[in-house]
A = this chain, B = another copy of it.
Amino acid sequence: MDLVIVGSVALDTIETPRGKVERALGGSAVYASLATSLFCRTGIVGVVGEDFTDDHRRLLEGRGIDLSGLESVAGGRTFFWQGRYGADPNERETITTELNVFERFRPRLPEAFLGAGHLFLGNIDPELQLLVLDRFPERPVTACDTMNYWIESKPERLRDVLERSDILFVNDGEARQLSGETNLLRAARSISAWGPRVLVIKKGEHGAHLFARGEGFIAPAFPLEDVVDPTGAGDTFAGGFMGAIAAAGSLEDEDLRRAMVFGAVAASFTCERFSVERLAGLTIEEIRERYDRLAALARFARD
């Protein structure tokens, strides 16, 4: 096991100007692991109900993802999210959120997971993120995600998680909320002071910024002509990033930059179909091909 992902496994009903899917596979651990599994051996820790089908299981296991940390609650229902996007993919409206079995989720890590060198703590209660961290005899390279809800409700615990993390993923809105700063550079400096030596601020179609050891990197997004469904793009970005980092086995500047671009590329594929439809059949060759195209789009000569 190279990388352990703890996060949500969900069924999503999603409506966009391009169509609708009902109770399709989703959740942060699902999107992230489908991306990381292209780069390294991945196990996920999560919880599902009886409506999580054998087809869902086969889809993930078919990608080599270890599901031994995926608890199934008899008689329970899987975390459910329903949302709608307007013509602007950045505007998303949540119609329903049913936590279901996720409400009482307590991560259970199989012994085989505890030797992993890399850990991605998806957007869950910071208390649970800390419990997971405590389980590892040797601290893995740790990345975490969070959201407005935890920033507001458990800022102290979240700060504890940040102090013990190497990498933090947030989007631009969360970075502003977390820091109280409107300007992204100021926000980044403020957040970096709390612990994570690598900060990734995702800006959707506008790319992403990396802040590490006082250095920075700006990754472009891969431009898409058709954004069918942006659900999971941020989690896929984190997955592509973490997969590339686990494969590189380093947090050196060059590796971080490449990981940013792999994250951007992976996320772009997610947006091209509903749910995990595009991601589920994606190959590392397709990732590499698009990486090269993005490199060509962003290249310019020194003065």
A residues adjacent to B (C-beta < 8 A): 87-88, 182-186, 203, 206-207, 209, 216-220, 223-227, 254, 257-258, 260-261, 288, 291-292, 295, 297-303
Instruction: Tell whether, in the assembled complex, residue A297 and residue B217 are in contact, meaning their CB atoms are under 8 Å apart.
Output: yes
Partner of A217 from the list B186, B207, B257, B300 (CB cut-off 8 Å) is B300
**Which chain B residues border A206 with CB–CB below 8 Å?**
203, 206-207
Q: Report the minimal beta-carbon distance from A7 to chain B, rounded to whole angstroms.
A: 27
Q: Which of B182, B295, B299, B303 sits near A303, CB closer than 8 Å?
A: B295
Task: Known A182-B87, A185-B225, A223-B209; judge A257-B300 contact (CB<8 A).
Answer: yes
Shortest CB-to-CB span from A82 to chain B, Å, is 24
Residue of B nearest to A224 (CB): B185
The answer for the CA separation of A225 and B187 in the assembled complex, in Å, is: 10
Query: Chain A interface mostly helix, strand, loop or mixed?
Result: mixed
A216 with B260, Cβ < 8 A, contacts A185-B224, A227-B183 known: no
A-B contact pairs, 19 of them (CB 8 A): A87-B182, A88-B182, A183-B226, A183-B227, A185-B224, A186-B225, A206-B207, A217-B299, A218-B223, A218-B297, A254-B300, A254-B301, A257-B299, A258-B300, A258-B303, A288-B303, A291-B303, A292-B302, A292-B303
A260 to B220, CA, bound (A): 15
CA distance A202 to B217 in the complex (A): 20
A246 to B301, CA, bound (A): 18
Chain B residue, CB-CB nearest to A265: B303
Q: A260-B300, A295-B300, A303-B288 are in contact. Are A216 and B225 (CB under 8 A)?
A: no
In the complex, residue of chain B having the shortest beta-carbon distance to the beta carbon of A223: B185
Name A182's closest neighbour in chain B (CB-CB): B87
Q: How far is the CB of A295 from chain B (nearest CB, A)?
A: 5
CB distance from A217 to the nearest CB of B (A): 6
Assess the A298–B226 pair: CB atoms within 8 A: no
Question: A292's closest neighbor in chain B, by CB?
Answer: B303
Q: Which residues of B contact A184 (CB under 8 A)?
A: 223
Contact of A225 with B300 in the complex, beta carbons under 8 Å = no
A257-B300, A301-B254 known; A223 vs B217 contact (CB < 8 Å): no
- Most B-side CB within 10 Å, residue of A182, A186, A261, A299: A299
The verdict on A300 contacting B185 (CB below 8 Å), with A220-B220, A223-B209 known, is: no
> What's the Cα separation between A182 and B205 when bound, in Å?
13
A258 touches B292 (CB 8 A): no
A109 CB to nearest chain B CB (Å): 33
Are A218 and B298 interface neighbours, CB within 8 A? yes
Instruction: Report the bound CA distance from A108 to B87 in whole Å.
Output: 45
